[in-house]
Amino acid sequence: MKIVVLAGGRSPERNVSLSSGAKITNALREKGHAAVLIDLFLGDTLSDVHTVAEVFQRPAPAADYAISEEIITNDAIDALRTDATKGLFGPNVLEICTAADIVFLGLHGEAGENGKVQATFDLFGICYTGSDFISSGVTMNKRLAKQLLLQNKITTARYATVKVGQATPKLDFNFPIVVKPAQGGSSIGMEIVYDQETLVAALTTAWQFDNEVVLEEYIAGREFSVGVLNGQALPAIEITVADGWYDYEHKYQDNGATYQTPPQIPAAVHQQMQAMALQTMAALGLTNYGRIDFLWDGTTIYVIEGNSLPGMTPHSLLPQEAAAVGISYADLCEQIIAGKLAQGKV
């Protein structure tokens, strides 16, 4: 199959995406596919080929991209582009994607995850992995997602929202409070605050990433995530951090966190978490694959959020959960594609 693995893009999670994308491309190559890694934002000059079709015959990319500890800014990403192209799609990206049988979305954050790329592909008749544009958009917006969870009676932490420059609303929960940009990812722009003074500072930080910020009741408990692949819940994975919380550094640096799948929790709790993962997928409209994050305080299981394009880096949770049930990384990539193609075109 001719497959474009689309990665990079223009978001603080650009480097995470490139790391996922290189790994996905190499795995699909191992499986015999003509897979090619394309950077959504930088595009491809096609200087080494005569036709778009020849792109799929290129040699494999470097095995892995390292993820830098620094979060890349959009200004720094803009500086990487040397041509005069405007917009998110770099040169020839749409042409190359149109020539593929399917585009594997290795994007994370902003346009790749919020449905805009998916909507563009719908208009161009390009087939892609993962969920459609509307459920991607809803899932990416933590306020809309929480509204849907509550409507569907799925337990989630209490919350309020505050738009840029607005006063903090009266909250029906106490400190500590989790401050999150409504549309973010990888814990970027997030803080856990313990008093009014740090709340004000954290809001200023979070507003740099989004005009709207979600304030959430802090749930003290153990953290888990459950991947869903083609309608089946994978085993949960427990995430433990030795110090602090599961922020960007803990997510992507070696030894940042320890993971256990299947986790050591009562079978009934595990089953309930898996059932809640499937309910959350349905509530948010997610299909093909996704991942739902949880906190369990020993009594109640809370959904933190859904992820429409879960990370596929070497440290990522979904690949570890799949491995726990004997699905290799390359098989996981192939099953995502097969599941999407079985749903019919776009």
Ligand X SMILES: Nc1ncnc2c1ncn2[C@@H]1O[C@H](COP(=O)(O)OP(=O)(O)O)[C@@H](O)[C@H]1O
Contact 252, 343 (CB under 8 A): no
Indicate the residue among 44 and 223 with the shorter CB distance to Mg ion. 223
Strands 2-7 and 102-105: parallel
Indicate the residue among 175 and 218 with the shorter CB distance to ligand X. 218
Using CB under 6 A as the binding rule, whether residue 113 contacts ligand X is answered as no
Contact 228, 221 (CB under 8 A): no
Stretch of residues binding Mg ion (CB under 5 A), selected from 13-21, 174-182, 235-243, 289-297: 289-297
Q: How many angstroms separate the first and last alpha carbons of the chain?
A: 17
- Rounded CA-CA distance 53/76 in Å is 31
- Rounded CA-CA distance 249/251 in Å is 5
Shortest reach from residue 179's CB to ligand X, in Å = 10
Q: Which of 10, 210, 204 is nearest to 90 (CA)?
A: 10
Shortest reach from residue 157's CB to ligand X, in Å = 4
The total of other beta-carbon atoms located within 10 Å of residue 109's CB is: 23
> Which residue in the set 10, 14, 146, 180 belongs to the binding site for ligand X (CB under 6 A)?
180
Choose the one of Mg ion, ligand X, none that binds residue 223, judging by a C-beta under 5 to 8 angstroms depending on kind. ligand X
* Count of residues touching ligand X (by CB under 6 A): 19
Using CB under 6 A as the binding rule, whether residue 184 contacts ligand X is answered as yes
Residue 189 structure tokens: 């722009």
Contact 106, 3 (CB under 8 A): no
Indicate the residue among 276 and 295 with the shorter CB distance to ligand X. 295
Choose the one of Mg ion, ligand X, none that binds residue 44, judging by a C-beta under 5 to 8 angstroms depending on kind. none
Please give the residues from 215 up to 254 whose contact with ligand X meets the rule CB under 6 A.
216-219, 223, 245-246
Please give the residues from 264 up to 323 whose contact with ligand X meets the rule CB under 6 A.
293, 295, 304-305
Indicate the residue among 183 and 288 with the shorter CB distance to ligand X. 183
The total of other beta-carbon atoms located within 10 Å of residue 172's CB is: 9
Indicate the residue among 221 and 314 with the shorter CB distance to ligand X. 221
Shortest reach from residue 116's CB to ligand X, in Å = 17
Using CB under 5 A as the binding rule, whether residue 293 contacts Mg ion is answered as yes
To which residue do tokens 């050591």 refer? 264
Contact 177, 193 (CB under 8 A): yes
Is the C-alpha dihedral spanning 320, 326, 330, 335 positive or negative?
Answer: negative
> Which residue in the set 161, 187, 198, 279 belongs to the binding site for ligand X (CB under 6 A)?
187
Q: How far is CA 49 from CA 55, 56, 57, 308, in A?
A: 7, 10, 10, 34
Q: Using CB atoms, what's the residue nearest to ligand X?
A: 246
Q: Contact residues for ligand X (CB under 6 A)?
A: 157, 178, 180, 184-187, 190, 216-219, 223, 245-246, 293, 295, 304-305
Which residues are near Mg ion by CB under 5 A? 293
